[in-house]
Structure 1
Amino acid sequence: MNFYQISPSIREIPQTIVRVRKITFGKKNTIMNQQIQKTILLVEDEPLIGLKESAQLQEYGYKVIHALNEQEAMKSVENKNLIIDLILMDIDLGQGTNGTDVARNILKNHDIPILFLSSHVEREIVRMTEDITTYGYMVKNSSIAALDASIKMAFRLYDAHSDLKKKSLEIETKRRELEFSEKRYRRLFESAKDGILILDAKTGLIVDVNPFLMQMLGYSKEELLSKKIWEINAFKNINYSKQLFKELQDKEYVRYSDLPLETFEGEMLHVEFVSNVYLVDNDKVIQCNIRDITERNLHEKILENDIDNKKALLRELQHRTKNSFSLITSLISLRSIAASSAELKNTLEELNLRVQSISDLYSLLYETESIDRVQLTTYCNKVIESIDKLSDKIEIHENIERTYVSAKSAAIIGMILVELLSNAVKYAFPNGRKGIINIELHKIGDNLQLTVEDNGIGLPENFDIAVTKTLGLHLVSLMTSQLNGNIEFPKESGTKIVIDFPV
């Protein structure tokens, strides 16, 4: 079930979601019965989507706390009576709130693993999470099984990261202690897992070398001591080695992220080379730390290839998604043609219109290669065109100002337009009478104003959208609230609906 499915009443949607979840995941209810139940904070500003995701996660054995905004999320993590094991954070929380900023605020004072959820897969959006300690990035509408697997992986990564951080702190403490005594320094020098060379800063002669470097290069200590660095075959480029030594003497610090070294056996290694000058008994010495990064470079190349493959997969998924929308609308149309009753036929046609409006938006973003901005004139015309086919006795006139909005706002506006137009076509002109529907969309100050007006039979007397049982108008009211807008029904002949919302 998704946000756009039909339900007899908006109040029945939560119960319907639960029924579907029990049918779909009824066999999963023992997945975590032998494990300690984990508590997940779901930060999702869409109430219905949050309700759906909470129900799915609960079916997989998680305890879920749903926060609609940053304030509710911060209140939950700061509640000392709650132990939150993981946060599922929506990237786009609406009203100018970015999930990555909320995550940063949480991580300032709390060590909780965060897994991002988003309907965006664009590079610019994903990059927003790169400077945050995050444990994954999931695309919305992925299967619950995939989300569950990502959550479990996030827990494992968090445990590993905690262990690594603990070990790093222990190593740093030991390093500082060893600096105060030669004996402790020698122990560190001998046991270090990086190669270390100690040079005389004046002459460039090697005065000490640790076992790890001897093992790395295949030379004995006697073959290295009392020689200049450029006299060792490992540093075969003599001129370059002399230049490096001169730079060390002048700057007293150099770092090279990738230098070639040749072992005694002729094997080529790639190393990270960091050197600095310091005083020992008033004499300057140079310490060279040499780390073998050959294997790391190999893994980086593998990761680069993996990223390229995932990019290709993403392009293929985008293409398939576009085709999938077309397939869904085609299947609904075929089922509508074969419908056994007028009620079923109307229901399928309305469902098809809702799916088509989302399909039109996705196609527009795909064709224009836009990340988040939509030209409303083009999109609204696509929506109107699909409604216009429902009746040859009703004329639809539009006057839509050229303006751009976010893809999220465009999707909501498109759904509102579908509901209002389909309601007008269905109810405003009974018994096949002719009619006209006028649509206007204009920018007024910092707001957009959408007006849908018809010359039909009009709304019932004493109409109140707050108590109406019509699902379509309930959805219009909910979606207007999502836009932080207002809806009015001016008393005029026919029906006139005016919706104002900030750009």
Structure 2
Amino acid sequence: MQELRILILEDYPPDAELAMLELEENGLEFASRVVDNEEDFLRELNEFEPQVILSDYKLPTFDGISALKLVRGKFPEKPFIFVSGTFREDFAVETLKKGATDYVLKENISKLPFAVKRALKEVEKTLKRERAEKALKNSEMQYRTTINALDDMLIVVDSRMHIILFNKTFERKKKEFGMGKALKGQNMFEALPFLPENLKQEYLRIFETGESLINEYSYSVNGVEVVEEVRRIPVFEEGKVVRVLTIIRDVTERKNSENRIKASLNEKEALLKEIHHRVKNNMQIISSLLNLQSTQVRNEDDAELFKASQDRVRSMALIHSKLYQSDDLSSINFSEYITSLAYGLLSSYDVSSSVRLNLDLEDLSLNIETAIPCGLIINELLTNSIKHAFPNDEGEIYINLRELEGDKFQLIIGDTGQGFPEDLDFQKTDTLGMQLVMSLINQIDGKIEFEKDKGSKFKIIFGKLEYEERI
């Protein structure tokens, strides 16, 4: 028997070794190659000629979706299984729509051997089906034996919807459902009354247009819930559709597995929402404690320090509040966040009636890794303008946010106030607020520019920070 060849796209060697060990312990004999970049992946894809591909979702210089596109362009049926540490429901659905065979979470790596074996069986079934379809085009006599070897059910109807052929798998399934009467020559919709009502119209459309159809159907037969993938292929004679070949695959087990995964993902999503909710509540408690403590402080400068700390905690609590309310638990609508934060600060300092707020914000989202430091930066610069820019308590603060090319963003925060003193270098000031701003700018790998143009204006260019797994 030819040895199985597996290509592994993984940038963390221990994970690749763990996957191989799991396969070996489950009796799979194979040769493998491990790569972590596009160049090596393409080379091994052509030279090693793997029969199965295991891929992480995201790597430093490459990603699983791009690898999947490359594979599907050359090898439409080759098994491609994602093995990832984190996999949200929308990512799982996206990968399956783009042609992935399956996906396995690294925390459930014990399921990998079953996924590989199932994928190989699916390939074998697909090859059998393709051979059957090719045989059908050549000669009816040649494909009779072949179609009876299929694990999928097969049935052929003519333009009157009469059953003229079905294979042994279909006949066996018919008996399992207690349908003992003969089907050949019968009208399909009379012989199989459990079929959906709209199915007849779909068959008529195939006879009219000559186009194939692929659908999934769910129905109950004798109390048994069944989910089937149905391929309907027109058969032509002299340019006219005379028969429709229907290939039916039972995907009930696969659908049940997908539903279990979806339920598990929903459970984890609910847990993550609860975590964000509790973090937000804890930060609000910290803010309240700071407020209570500040009432005991006699010195105004010390009281200001407490209020500044309270505002910083609120800016972070607002991030978790937005995440809790968001459908996407990994990112928030940052324009909505800025709006809430800015008006909250004006109200906090009781200047909302005298200081105008001019917001020009693109509708975009940032992940939590980027949103928290950006939120703190905005909090510090806005607070600075509110406290120091307007000696007469009147003026305007403006904020501009837009996305640039190359996954970069531009944030502008300015005011029409009295501006910074001429001899003050904002990058070397000894105030905690500006020191915090400069530290956070470095954290998001950003650049900051300062202009004195009828007030103060800060322009910040930054990119999204990627999530780094904590140990």
TM-score range, shorter chain: 0.5 to 0.7
1:77 pairs with one of 37, 42, 45: 37
In structure 2, which of residues 404, 409, 412 is the aligned counterpart of residue 448 of structure 1? 412
Answer whether contact 2:158 2:244 (CA < 8 A) is retained.
yes
Deviation at 1:450, TM superposition (A): 1.5
1:288 alignment counterpart: 246
Question: Contact between 1:195 and 1:212, CA under 8 Å: does it hold in 2?
Answer: yes
What one-letter code is carried by the residue in structure 2 that aligns with 1:477? Answer: M
Q: Deviations over 1:134-175 (max 9, x none)?
A: 8999xxxxxxxxxxx95434x667776666555544444444
Contact 2:158 2:243 in 1 (8 A): yes
SS at match of 2:151: coil
2:258 matches 1:258: no
Establish whether residue 380 from structure 1 lines up as the match of residue 342 from structure 2. Answer: yes
Match of 1:499 in 2: 458
Distance 1:295 1:382, change over 3 A: same
Q: Return closer, same or farther for 1:308/1:331 CA change in 2, 3 Å cut-off.
A: same
Query: 1:425: how far off?
Result: 11
Relative to structure 1, is the Cα distance of residues 219 and 278 closer, same or farther in structure 2, using a 3 angstrom cutoff? same
Output the aligned Cα RMSD.
6.5
Partner of 1:278: 235
CA distance in 1, matches of 2:177, 2:94: 47
Q: Which residue of 2 aligns with 1:197?
A: 155
Shift of 1:365: 8.2
Q: Is residue 197–residue 289 contact of structure 1 (8 Å, CA) maintained in 2?
A: yes
**Which residue of structure 2 aligns with residue 403 of structure 1?**
360
Distance 1:105 1:337, change over 3 A: farther
The alignment partner of 2:458 has SS state of: strand
Give unmatched runs, 5+ long, in structure 1.
Answer: 1-37, 42-56, 62-75, 91-98, 138-148, 429-434
Q: Which amino acid aligns with 1:210?
A: K
- Calculate the TM-score normalised by the size of structure 2: 0.53
- Give the TM-score of the pair, scaled to structure 1: 0.51
Aligned partner of 2:245: which letter?
Q
> Separation in 2 of the partners of 1:488 and 1:130?
48
- Out of 144, 147, 152, the residue aligned to residue 107 of structure 2 is 152
| Aligned residue identity for 1:450 | G
Shift of 1:336: 7.3
The structure-2 alpha-carbon separation of the partners of 1:335 and 1:486, relative to structure 1 and needing over 3 Å to count, comes to: same
Distance 1:79 1:384, change over 3 A: farther
Matching of residues 218-229 of structure 1 within 5 Å: 218=176, 223-224=181-182, 226-229=184-187
1:6 match: none
1:279-307: CA deviation from partner (whole Å, max 9, x where unpaired): 69999554333344666676777777778
Q: Which residue of 1 aligns with 2:167?
A: 209
The yes-or-no answer on 1:415 pairing with 2:381 is no
Q: 2: CA distance between counterparts of 1:216 and 1:383?
A: 71
Distance, in Å, in 2 between the alignment partners of 1:206 and 1:439 is 84
Quote the Cα distance in structure 2 between the aligned partners of 1:338 and 1:238. Answer: 74
SS at match of 2:398: strand
Query: Per-residue CA shift, 1:37-58, capped at 9, x if unaligned?
Result: x7349xxxxxxxxxxxxxxx99
Measure the CA separation in 1 of the matches of 2:126 and 2:434.
63
User: Does the residue aligned with 1:192 lie in a helix, a strand or coil?
Assistant: coil
Once the two structures are superposed, residues 9-50 of structure 1 have per-residue CA deviations (whole angstroms, 9 ceiling, x without a partner) of xxxxxxxxxxxxxxxxxxxxxxxxxxxxx7349xxxxxxxxx
Aligned amino acid, residue 153 of structure 2: G
User: Which stretch of the first structure deviates more once superposed, 325-334 or 289-298?
Assistant: 289-298
Segments of 5+ residues of structure 2 without an aligned counterpart are: 1-9, 19-35, 45-53, 72-79, 403-410, 463-471
Of 434, 441, 450, the residue aligned with 1:473 is: 434
Instruction: Give 2:150's aligned amino acid.
Output: A
Q: For 2:194 and 2:385, how far apart are their aligned partners in 1?
A: 83
**What amino acid sits opposite 2:56 in the alignment?**
L
Gap change, CA 1:417 and 1:436, over 3 Å in 2: farther
Helix, strand or coil at the partner of 1:400: strand
Per-residue displacement from partner, 1:115-145 (whole Å, max 9, x unpaired)?
Answer: 5979xx9x999988785678999xxxxxxxx
* Distance change >3 Å, CA 422–CA 203, structure 1 → 2: closer
Contact 1:115–1:134 (CA<8 Å) still a contact in 2? no
Deviations 1:307-357 (A, max 9, x none): 877776676566545433312323555677899x99999877654331112
Residue 224 of structure 1 aligns to a residue whose secondary structure is coil
> Given the superposition, is the C-alpha separation of residues 399 and 344 from structure 1 closer, same or farther in structure 2, using an over 3 Å criterion?
closer
Q: Deviations over 1:81-111 (max 9, x none)?
A: 9x99735479xxxxxxxx9x97655654488
Task: Write the letter of the residue equivalent to 1:442.
Answer: Y
Question: Counterpart of 1:39 in 2: which secondary structure?
Answer: coil
Q: Find the aligned partners of 1:135 and 1:480 in 2 and give their Cα distance.
A: 42
Percentage of matched positions with identical amino acids: 17
2:314 alignment partner AA: Q
Change (3 A) 1:131 1:397: farther
| 1:14 aligned residue | none
Separation in 2 of the partners of 1:361 and 1:295?
Answer: 41
The CA deviation string for residues 376-425 of structure 1, in whole angstroms up to 9 with x for no partner, is 56522423554x49xxxx99974432433556598656523543577899
Aligned partners of 1:345, 1:156: CA distance in 2, in Å?
57
Q: What's the CA shift for 1:188?
A: 3.9
| CA deviation after TM superposition for structure 1 residue 499, in Å | 0.8
* SS in structure 2 at match of 1:278: strand
The 1-side partners of 2:226 and 2:55 are apart by 43
Superposed counterparts of 1:73-152, under 5 Å: 77-78=37-38, 80=40, 86=56, 88=58, 104-105=65-66, 107-109=68-70, 113=82, 151-152=106-107
Q: Secondary structure at the match of 1:152?
A: helix
